[in-house]
Structure 1
Amino acid sequence: MSKAAPSKIEIGCGRAKRVGYFGIDISENSDADLVLDVEKQRLPFADNSISHVYSSHAFEHMTEFPHVFREIFRVCRPGAEVEIWTPYGKSNDGLLFGHYVFFTETSFKHICYEYDRFYLADAPGFFDWRRSAYNLLPGIRARLHEMNIPLEFALEHMFNVCMEWGVMLTVNKEHARAPGPQIPERLYGEGVRPEW
């Protein structure tokens, strides 16, 4: 690791590490500051030391989510933000070879409040799902409008409306567990990631 302990980390940085972040990747052929298998190894950071975790198009390649989320939660300070981008599960991009999990809203309902103890075990607290951002297929809103189909209905019941999406979670360590359902704010872009 670098001399100063990082406060922002990127999981699965690949060959395009985000500026200002400490990159972690399983591959030595990456821009990682640290080569590490986050599905099997502990993150080498102190408890409550990280303010922001970023990951783009890495989680769909994983399967050991209880370990990954417990480690993220452990190293994050209260109020830290966890930003995860994946292909949208109901899209052709989501179904590419090498993707083991097809992330949709149901995935984060499980992680954040329906089965939060499965993912966080005995760690008091939960991930507070604050926002979801959808990178929609360009022109899709106009096409849906012409057919009189609401965007929310299309996201729930149709395929290839959204190509990529992200969630912004806030680490809450003040409560023993998630108090109940969370309704995140939704942001939309067409062909671009919407700004948080």
Structure 2
Amino acid sequence: MKKTLDLGCGNRKKEGMIGIDINPNTDADIIHDLNIFPYPFEESTFDEIYADNVIEHLDNPIKVMEELHRISKSGASIIIKVPYFRSRYAFIDPTHRHFFTVESFTYFDPEHSHHTLFNYSEFMFETKKIIFDENLYPKNLRHPIHSILKYFCDKYPVFYEHHLSHLVPLDELTFYLKTIKLGKI
């Protein structure tokens, strides 16, 4: 059976997932401060980890990613949603400590030069895809120009970020990552 984790689930825990959150007044199954390591799970426990707008609140995203690597199985799906650094929503919440670009997780991707050049962590995740504003706005309420821009940005995220994002900022990024554990299938 597939084992899944909703990291920082709050009161919107995904159905069928184990929820973990610091706040006891949430839908969490496990109460734990995500700034304290290790998390209360064995190594290689989860097939999928979902983190919806939580990592930007935590003290050390590198340590969080290392912990997600530890508790995920080789080949596990890691889905991370964060406010896009150009969005006003990234800055209006006084509890946000970190800001994310389309290349923020390339430091963990062995196929990217950031991983080789900076080597912040030995733990690796393959970047499968990056989606802007995924499910953020209902399609029937989305302006047609937003839909066209989103399509272009999802196809060419680095180009958008370097040349257009300061003119027409989007709001949220969803990263689809895959855990890489060398020597394990």
Shorter-chain-normalised TM-score: which range? 0.7 to 0.9
Instruction: Give 1:91 deviation, angstroms.
Output: 0.9
1:82 partnered with 2:88: no
Residue identity in the other structure for 2:109:
C
Which residue of the partner structure matches residue 120 of structure 2? Answer: 118
| Deviation by residue 1:120-176 (Cα, 9 ceiling, x = unmatched) | 4xxxx51001111111884345786xxxxx75444333235311110010011126x
Which residue of the partner structure matches residue 9 of structure 2? Answer: 13
Contact 1:40–1:67 at 8 Å: present in 2 too?
A: no
Residue identity in the other structure for 1:52:
E
Which residue of the partner structure matches residue 161 of structure 1? Answer: 169
Contact 2:9–2:21 at 8 Å: present in 1 too?
A: yes
Q: Structure 1-normalised TM-score?
A: 0.72
Q: Distance in 2 between matches of 1:30 and 1:42?
A: 21
Which residue of the partner structure matches residue 23 of structure 2? Answer: 27
Gapped regions of structure 1 (runs ≥ 5): 145-149, 176-196
Match among 31, 34, 41 for residue 37 of structure 2: 41
Give runs of ≥4 in structure 1 deviating > 6 Å. none
Which residue of the partner structure matches residue 107 of structure 1? Answer: 104
1:59 partnered with 2:65: no
Q: Distance in 2 between matches of 1:107 and 1:143?
A: 24
Gapped regions of structure 2 (runs ≥ 5): none
Question: Alpha carbon RMSD of aligned pairs, Å?
Answer: 2.7
Which residue of the partner structure matches residue 94 of structure 1? Answer: 90
The percent of aligned pairs where both chains have the same amino acid is 26
Q: How does 1:121-132 map to 2 (within 5 A)?
A: 126-132=124-130
Aligned length: 163
1:50 partnered with 2:24: no
* CA pair 127-28 structure 1, distance change in 2 beyond 3 A: same
Q: Structure 2-normalised TM-score?
A: 0.76
Contact 2:102–2:173 at 8 Å: present in 1 too?
A: no
